[in-house]
Structure 1
Amino acid sequence: MTTTLDPAKLQTAVAAVHRAGMPGVFAEVRAGDQIWCGAAGVADIATGRPVTASMRHRVGSITKTFTAAAVLQQVDNGQIELDTPIGHYLPRLVPGERGAAITVRMLINHTSGLAEYLPHAYPSLAAFPDMAKTTPKSLDDNRFTRFHPIELIEMGVSAPAAGTPGGTPGVYSNTNYLLLCELLESVTGTSAEKYITRNVIERAGLQETVLPAGSHIDGPHSLHYEAWFGMIDPPRDYSVYDMSWVGPAASLISTVADLNQFFGLLLAGEIISRSSLATMQRTVPVISFEGKTLDYGLGLQKMTVPGRGTYWGHDGSVWGGGAMSMTSADSTRQMSVAVNLQRWNRFDSSQKPQPHPIDDALRALTQLALCG
């Protein structure tokens, strides 16, 4: 899989994403012993401060891979059984028949049927995931709102079910991962944030990766511009935001270098056992918030490139920030990329997101970075 990196072509591809309309984009690509990092554009539109490849960034649902790895460590330790009902561990949070039917595995691979709590926590997103019918008002209203995870879980559990336990395709839901965090706390006696930090982040030697306690990103970072499909025009910065609305489901702050290091170690069997890694890579179809079908394992997404093989990783977004990290199955090729604008597509007359030049530029960058 390893091929020689072409720094000039990679920098041209990153610059093309910026020219297509992305304020700032930065990436790190690894091929064997070679490492390339590059950036294009600005971290702050008002001042023109440039982005750099070493910046910290909110990476959204990439956090789920860290949380899943923490749970699988406890599977390795014999403290958690993947096919034990969550009602056995957390009977008050998921009571009755559903608690008996939904297993830990179903939470990790999003086949629990539990609904997403987000539209209930953010009233103006009530039509979520029908983005065209939502408004961004709650983003400002809740910038410094401190949510309690139990409150969010109860919203998701009490909402109409999104599917039947174990049924496929599964439906992507943050409710699943907040429950996994409560499960971690119940079996380890410490908070999920502390456990993940000590046993996943620090174990992987990630110096720039944190689960934040407050609303700010410490250290050099970009602003995070949210467009909400043209409803916020010009896009507004949400880099300062209380991330308790997702917690260890999507609040991680990291760098592109740390992400590559983490996924490389994970796929090498350095974070969890080889048997748990094999279990992590057993996939099912899962429907994303955007209506796309993901090939989803236990906190890992699978991507198959014709003629180039299989890649593992995850992507993620928060208000204004996005990232993707993918590693080849043989771990010889890696790419992590971060962008500082989200939901850049506008809706057409049929209320569907229109194609945008950013989409094509990001695909070209991904193709070049992963396949050479």
Structure 2
Amino acid sequence: MSRALAAVHAAGVPAAYAEVRDGGRRWSGAAGVADLATGRPARPDLRHRVGSITKSFVATTVLQLVAEGKVGLDDPIGRWLPDLVPGELGQRVTVRMLLNHTSGIGNYTNALLDTLAEVISVGTATFTPEDLVRIGLSLPPTGAPGERYSYSNTGYILAGLLIEKVTGHDATAEVTRRVIGPLGLRDTYFPGADPAIRGPHAGAHFALLGVRDFARYGMTWAWTAGELISTPSDLDTFYRALFGGRLLPPAQLAQMRTTVPMDPQAPEAGGYGLGVYWLPTPCGQRWGHDGGVIGQITVSLHAPDASRQMSLATNLSHYQIGLPEEHPIDTAWLAAVVAGVCPGAAATRAAGGPPLALPLPGALPLPRG
């Protein structure tokens, strides 16, 4: 794994850092520099924005409320948030559809982070969750409710507002009380309106703007869809508890693992459940999530029982500039992921396609202008 991280760094990423667990054994390591401006060396325990991995924490919280009989997965969201999602749409879109991305509601970040100027300005702006939902609802629908998978951050902002409606508490505080606190995840937290990453942390390098560090960057635009800060070790602890049955009763964990195809034309390429997905690998299905924000990328993948785990992070994003070929960083990243989740397996492409259909860091949408 050390060689795999070094290869990611050598391919052009300032730093790569990871933790791998195999039963009771644990390995962590890093390669490269955390901050291009200072040359500060990377460490595996640096705090890092984990983006959409936030969704696993939020979905877990919603499913705990389901287990307590406080909300139903097939409740229409309009029953709980009639002012935000009124009328027929509110009656047709269910809580389940929000969590498995089949609601058909547009993805607000497609509009919010559309240009380079917006990428810069969003980090200094303050958004309310209601602002974000309205942006998503103003976009063309991606399909009829329940029709098909189409990734939408808007659904997870609505999930956060649902948590608040059901519990009467701030959504991020409720996730912290139910999940982060009980697991003792000392390096995992929601920053809220604070643009800084508290404590030792990695830089966040946005390739289109060179060495500029976006670690100080307001995240109110992400909230319960992608605001969380964590470390590879804390992520492994969380997913081991989740998939090991410590956070959800069996019925709700089974619902979480009930998936829809992420690509209807290739259902074997992976399925999305409720805040988690599975991907095919050379050693079978692996479960977890990935996250990408401005300047930082994370993936956390685990055996179904979390006996083998890997969480990997890098501090560079948006380096793919429209080249038709796979970027060398992506090739090295894929190899590192396979090395982590399937020791001894090769990350070579077979005739049927890649052995791991992971969203690669270079595939993040590029802002225009």
On whether the aligned pair clears a TM of 0.5, the verdict is yes
Q: Which residue is 1:347 aligned to? A: 322
- 1:80-159 maps to which residues of 2 (within 5 A)? 80-122=71-113, 125=114, 135-159=115-139
Q: Which residue is 2:285 aligned to? A: 310
Q: Which residue is 1:209 aligned to? A: 188
Identity over aligned pairs, percent: 45
1:173-200 C-alpha deviation (Å, 9 max, x unpaired): 1100000000000000001011001101
Amino acid aligned to 1:162: T
Amino acid aligned to 1:212: P
Q: Which residue is 1:164 aligned to? A: 144
**Equivalent position to 1:62, from 53, 59, 78:** 53
3-state SS of 2:157 partner: helix
**Equivalents in 2 of 1:304, 1:140: separation in Å?**
36
Q: CA deviation at 1:313?
A: 0.3
Q: CA deviation at 1:294?
A: 4.9
Q: Does 1:332 align with 2:307?
A: yes
3-state SS of 1:248 partner: helix
**Equivalents in 2 of 1:75, 1:47: separation in Å?**
48
1:186-231 C-alpha deviation (Å, 9 max, x unpaired): 000001011001101112221110011211000001110112xxxx
Q: Does 1:296 align with 2:287?
A: no
Structure 2: any 5+ residue segments left out of the alignment? Answer: 344-369
| Conserved 8 A contact 2:93-2:145 | yes
Q: Which residue is 1:177 aligned to? A: 156
Structure 1: any 5+ residue segments left out of the alignment? Answer: 1-9, 126-134
3-state SS of 1:325 partner: strand
**Equivalents in 2 of 1:294, 1:52: separation in Å?**
31
Q: Which residue is 1:368 aligned to? A: 339
**Equivalents in 1 of 2:146, 2:122: separation in Å?**
33
**Equivalent position to 1:265, from 218, 238, 241:** 241
**Equivalents in 2 of 1:343, 1:143: separation in Å?**
16
3-state SS of 2:127 partner: coil
Q: Does 1:18 align with 2:9?
A: yes
| Conserved 8 A contact 1:204-1:271 | no
- The number of residue pairs the alignment matches comes to 339
Q: Which residue is 1:221 aligned to? A: 201
| Conserved 8 A contact 1:172-1:287 | no
1:248-280 C-alpha deviation (Å, 9 max, x unpaired): 110100010000000000001111111111110
**Equivalent position to 2:25, from 34, 40, 48:** 34
**Equivalents in 1 of 2:46, 2:93: separation in Å?**
39
Q: CA deviation at 1:237?
A: 1.8
| Conserved 8 A contact 2:76-2:93 | yes
| Conserved 8 A contact 1:146-1:242 | yes
After superposing on structure 2, the runs of 4+ consecutive aligned residues of structure 1 that deviate more than 3 Å are: 119-122
| Conserved 8 A contact 1:110-1:286 | no
Q: Does 1:253 align with 2:229?
A: yes
TM, length-normalised to structure 1: 0.88
3-state SS of 2:18 partner: strand
Q: CA deviation at 1:136?
A: 1.1
Amino acid aligned to 1:267: F
Alignment CA distance shift 1:287-1:121 (3 Å): farther
**Equivalents in 2 of 1:154, 1:272: separation in Å?**
32
Q: CA deviation at 1:343?
A: 1.7
Alignment CA distance shift 1:233-1:190 (3 Å): closer
